[in-house]
């Protein structure tokens, strides 16, 4: 008998639930059909297994990678191929309330507010054993007879544009009572910035950091850099309104490439170039700017996904002993460290949250995020009725 033939009682056997947090048998969920085609349907509420919890999703933020998945499919990988027309629910930057616990789970309690990180690696490949679960060798191998245990919600497994989702206990972080749902959805974004700085060296007190691109990751990279003691923190961006948010988040200097040469200005401010550069724009111009504004022996982190190959000055990098890093997601438990900063209010992440919509209006929310309507930066959708917020 396969899982689809099991009775409701059999499917939920061993799962810990509570009468105070009732769980329906069906939930609303958005599923991806053809590219950019989302439909709101009813799905069975998923059942948590060992080392898993059922999270009632209270809020989910829209990420630029969600927009890429909806349009191009990548980097989502469902059942070994593109995610289209596979009953797949996207969305990965969500938070919520634990509604049920799988067998053997005692690390959390029903009713805990949690935010989540995306990846739970297979735990058995070389990269996972090194703690690099966002680089899991078994990415996407989580179906049928080839199931290796890898999970990446919203990428290779169902995500947060729904009322419920399953999360491995290793991907959940408690949310303090003082933190709003909307801000809690931003922990993954801050965690991605934290991961980049971790790979560049981690302890950046007294080091100069340049962030190129005032998108959500770039703006929170400014905030995290400042919280880690970097000095000076320099933001490079062409949008004055976002640059001003960067200033509020801790940027010591703002450079607008429309008005001045960013490479020359960085060298003027730092002496011989920046110790660390984080490129959150990801195009040929900014990659080369990163190379030429970095000090000898410095480090560059590429935190964006260019859509096509770029040419850059590799010779300059080699001659000047400059190190180049690429990151994927929020690895090495960076979300936990980001939450520590946010819980202590070391920076105001709410500055990048601009719009909130109910889950029923997800297509409108996506349009605001994609077209930057009304100067949208981070758009959040919520399942909670207005009176509960």
Question: Which CA distances in Å does 203 have to 139, 321, 325?
Answer: 30, 20, 16
Query: Tokens representing 102?
Result: 């799988």
Q: What beta strand segments (E) does the chain contain?
A: 26-32, 38-44, 52-61, 93-101, 113-116, 119-120, 151-152, 164-168, 172-174, 209-212, 233-236, 253-255, 274-279, 294-302, 323-326, 353-358, 378-382
Q: Which pair of tokens denotes residue 20?
A: 């105070």
CA pair distance 39, 116, nearest whole angstrom: 24
* CA 285 to chain CA centroid, nearest Å: 25
On whether the CB atoms of residues 204 and 225 are closer than 8 A, the answer is yes
Tracing tokens 């060296």 back to the chain, one arrives at: 201
In total, the chain counts a number of residues equal to 389
Provide the whole-model pTM: 0.91
Which stretches of the chain drop beneath a pLDDT of 70? 1-10, 385-389
Give the pLDDT confidence score for residue 194 in this predicted structure.
Answer: 93
Q: By CB neighbour count within 10 A (0-12 exposed, 13-18 middle, 19+ buried), where does 314 fall?
A: exposed
Determine contact, residues 304/213, Cβ cutoff 8 Å: yes
Q: What are the CA-CA distances from residue 178 to residues 18, 50, 59, 93, 165 (Å)?
A: 24, 30, 16, 19, 24
Residue among 226, 228, 246, 227 at smallest CA distance from 236: 246
Look at the domain 193-326 and name its fold.
Answer: Rossmann fold (3.40.50)
Question: What is the spatial distance between Cα 187 and Cα 174, in angstroms, rounded to a whole number?
Answer: 11
CA distance 224 to 187: 11
Domain 3-118+153-175+348-388 top-level CATH class: alpha beta
Cβ–Cβ < 8 Å for 383, 65: no
- CA–chain centroid gap for 196, Å, is 12
List the structure tokens of 111.
């009713």
What's 94-157 look like in SS3? EEEEEEEECCCCCCCCCCCEEEECCEECCCCCHHHHCCCHHHCCCCCCCCHHHCCCCEEECCCE
Q: Check residue 1 and give its pLDDT.
A: 41
CA–CA dist 118, 309 (Å, integer): 26
Angstrom CA distances, 56 to 110, 205, 289, 325, stand at: 10, 39, 44, 36
**Cα dist. 325→3, 63, 277 in Å?**
43, 22, 10
Q: What is the distance in angstroms between the CA of the first residue and the CA of the last residue of the chain?
A: 43
Q: How far apart are CA 216 and CA 294, in angstroms?
A: 23
pLDDT per residue as tens digits for the range 189-236 = 999 999 999 888 877 899 999 999 999 999 999 999 999 999 999 999
Q: What is the rounded CA–CA span in Å between residue 348 and residue 213?
A: 19
User: What per-residue confidence (pLDDT) applies to 9?
Assistant: 66
Describe the chain by its helix, strand, coil percentages, rounded to 5: 30, 25, 40
What residues does each domain of the chain span? Answer: 3-118+153-175+348-388, 193-326
Phi and psi for 383 in degrees, rounded to 5? -95, -10
């Amino acid at each position: 008998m396969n899982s689809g033939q099991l009775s409701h009682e059999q499917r939920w056997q061993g799962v810990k639930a509570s009468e105070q947090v009732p769980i329906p048998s069906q939930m609303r969920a958005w599923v991806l059909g053809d590219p950019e085609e989302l439909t709101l349907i009813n799905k069975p509420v998923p059942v948590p297994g060992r080392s898993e919890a059922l999270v009632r999703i209270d809020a989910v933020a829209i990420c630029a990678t969600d927009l890429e998945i909806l349009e191009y499919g990548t980097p989502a990988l469902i059942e070994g191929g593109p995610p289209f027309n596979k009953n797949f629910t996207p969305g990965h930057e969500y938070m919520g309330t634990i509604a049920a616990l799988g067998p053997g789970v005692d690390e959390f309690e029903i009713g805990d507010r949690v935010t989540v990180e995306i990846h739970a690696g297979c735990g058995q490949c070389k990269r996972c054993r090194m703690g690099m679960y966002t680089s899991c060798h078994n990415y996407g191998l989580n179906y049928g007879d080839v199931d290796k245990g890898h999970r990446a919600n919203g990428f290779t497994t169902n995500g947060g544009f729904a009322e419920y989702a399953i999360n491995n206990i290793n991907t959940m972080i408690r949310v303090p009572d003082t933190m709003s749902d909307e801000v809690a959805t931003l922990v993954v974004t801050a965690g991605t910035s934290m991961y980049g700085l971790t790979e560049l060296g981690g302890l950046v007190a007294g080091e100069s950091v340049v962030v190129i691109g005032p998108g959500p990751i770039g703006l929170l990279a400014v905030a995290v850099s400042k919280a880690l003691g970097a000095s000076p923190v320099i933001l490079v961006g062409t949008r004055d309104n976002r640059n001003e948010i960067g200033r509020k988040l801790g940027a010591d200097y703002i450079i607008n490439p429309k008005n001045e040469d960013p490479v020359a200005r960085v060298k003027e401010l730092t002496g011989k170039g920046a110790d660390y550069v984080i490129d959150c724009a990801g195009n040929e111009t900014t990659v080369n700017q990163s190379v030429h504004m970095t000090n000898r022996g410095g480090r560059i982190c590429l935190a964006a996904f260019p859509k096509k190959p770029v040419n850059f000055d590799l010779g300059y990098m080699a001659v000047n002993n400059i190190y180049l890093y690429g990151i994927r997601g929020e690895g090495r438990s960076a979300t936990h460290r980001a939450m520590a900063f946010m819980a202590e209010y070391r920076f105001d992440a709410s500055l990048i949250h601009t719009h909130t919509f109910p889950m029923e209006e997800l297509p409108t929310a996506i349009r605001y995020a994609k077209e930057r309507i009304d100067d949208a930066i981070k758009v959040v959708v919520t399942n909670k009725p207005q009176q509960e917020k």
